[in-house]
C-alpha cells in the first residue's frame, strides 16, 4: 500500500469549508483510503510553519484571509501566483513548498460560461486575493476594469448609479454576505444595474447572496461562485497529482 497522503485547507473561521467535503467525496469515489483532508483554522498565518511539519502532508488549499500572507512561507511560486501575488493551492514535494493560483482557472471558466460580447467593461468590488486573480483573467481577455474598495481611489461612498451603468460586468470579490451573515450586503447603488449587466458574486454559500438577489431584481444575469469553486478544486487535484514525483 502507498504511503498516506494528507491534504487540508488553511484559513480563518473556515468551519464551513466546501473543500473538505469535496475532496473527501473524491477520495471515497476513487477508493483512495490512504488520503485524508483536514481543516487548519489559524488565527495567525505564522502558525502555518507548524502545519508544514505534518507528516505525509502532500498539499494544501489556502483561503481568506491568507492567500497573500502565505507567500513568504513558501519556497517557490508558479508564474501565475507570482504575477498575481496570491496563492490558493500549495503542493509539497521533498519538503519544497510551491504555491499556485487556481482561482484563475476557476474564474476564467466561469467568465467564459456567462460572458456576452457587450460585457466589455468591469467593476471589481474588493482587492483581496480573489480580486487579484479576477484582474489577471480580465487583463488576459483585454477587458478594462475599475476596482472599488473601502479606502481606494474609487470607494463605495463615491460609487454612483451612473458608474455602475457604464460597467456591464460586475465581480463581487468581498466576503460580505457569506454564511452565516447572509443578510449583509455592500452599500451599492443597485439602481445603476440593468438587464444588460452580468453580476458574478464569488461567494458560494449562500447560493443567492443579498447582493445577487438585489441585482436580479433589476433584471441582471447573475452567477455565484460555486462553479468557480468546483473548477479550481479540480485544478488543485490535477496539480497535487501531476506535480507528484
Catalytic residue among 6, 20, 67, 235: 67
Find the domain containing 11 and state its range: 5-101
Residue 20 annotated to the active site: no
Of 40, 73, 101, which marks where a domain is finished? 101
Are residues 149 and 179 both part of a single domain?
Answer: yes
- Is there a domain that residue 239 lies in? no
CATH of residue 183's domain is 3.40.50.720
**Within a 10 A sphere around the Cβ of 1, how many other Cβ atoms?**
5
d(CA 220, CA 59): 38
Are 116 and 52 in the same domain?
Answer: no
Q: Which residues contact 103 (CB under 8 A, 6 or more apart)?
A: 86, 88, 129, 130, 133, 134, 228, 232
Query: Does 69 share its domain with 114?
Result: no
pTM score? 0.91
* pLDDT tens, residue order, the chain (245 aa): 578 999 999 999 887 778 999 999 999 999 999 999 999 999 999 999 999 999 999 999 999 899 999 999 999 999 999 999 999 999 999 999 999 999 999 999 999 999 999 999 999 999 998 999 999 999 999 999 999 999 888 999 999 999 999 999 999 999 999 988 999 999 999 999 999 999 999 999 999 999 999 999 999 999 999 999 999 999 999 999 986 54
Number of structural domains, the chain? 2
Q: Positive or negative CA dihedral for 180, 183, 187, 188?
A: positive
Amino acid at each position: 500500500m502507498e504511503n498516506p497522503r494528507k491534504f487540508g485547507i488553511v484559513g480563518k473561521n473556515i468551519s464551513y469549508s466546501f473543500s473538505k467535503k469535496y475532496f473527501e467525496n473524491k477520495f471515497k469515489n476513487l477508493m483512495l483510503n490512504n488520503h485524508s483532508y483536514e481543516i487548519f483554522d489559524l488565527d495567525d498565518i505564522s502558525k502555518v510553519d507548524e502545519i508544514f511539519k505534518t507528516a505525509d502532508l502532500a498539499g494544501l488549499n489556502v483561503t481568506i484571509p491568507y492567500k497573500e500572507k502565505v507567500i513568504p512561507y513558501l519556497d517557490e511560486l508558479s508564474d501565475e501566483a507570482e504575477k498575481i501575488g496570491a496563492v490558493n493551492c500549495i503542493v509539497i514535494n521533498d519538503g519544497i513548498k510551491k504555491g499556485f493560483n487556481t482561482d484563475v482557472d476557476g474564474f476564467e471558466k466561469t467568465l467564459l460560461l456567462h460572458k456576452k460580447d457587450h460585457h466589455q467593461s468591469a467593476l471589481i468590488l474588493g482587492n483581496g486575493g480573489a480580486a487579484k486573480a479576477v484582474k489577471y483573467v480580465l487583463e488576459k481577455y483585454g477587458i478594462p476594469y475599475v476596482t472599488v474598495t473601502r479606502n481606494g481611489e474609487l470607494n463605495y461612498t463615491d460609487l454612483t448609479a451612473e458608474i455602475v451603468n457604464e460597467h456591464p460586468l460586475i465581480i463581487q470579490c468581498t466576503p460580505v454576505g457569506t454564511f452565516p451573515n447572509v443578510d449583509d450586503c455592500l452599500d451599492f447603488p443597485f439602481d445603476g444595474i440593468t438587464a444588460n449587466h452580468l453580476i458574478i458574486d464569488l461567494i458560494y454559500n449562500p447560493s443567492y447572496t443579498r447582493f445577487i438577489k438585489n441585482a436580479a431584481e433589476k433584471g441582471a444575469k447573475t452567477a455565484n461562485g460555486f462553479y468557480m469553486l468546483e473548477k479550481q478544486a479540480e485544478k488543485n487535484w490535477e496539480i497535487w497529482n501531476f506535480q507528484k514525483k
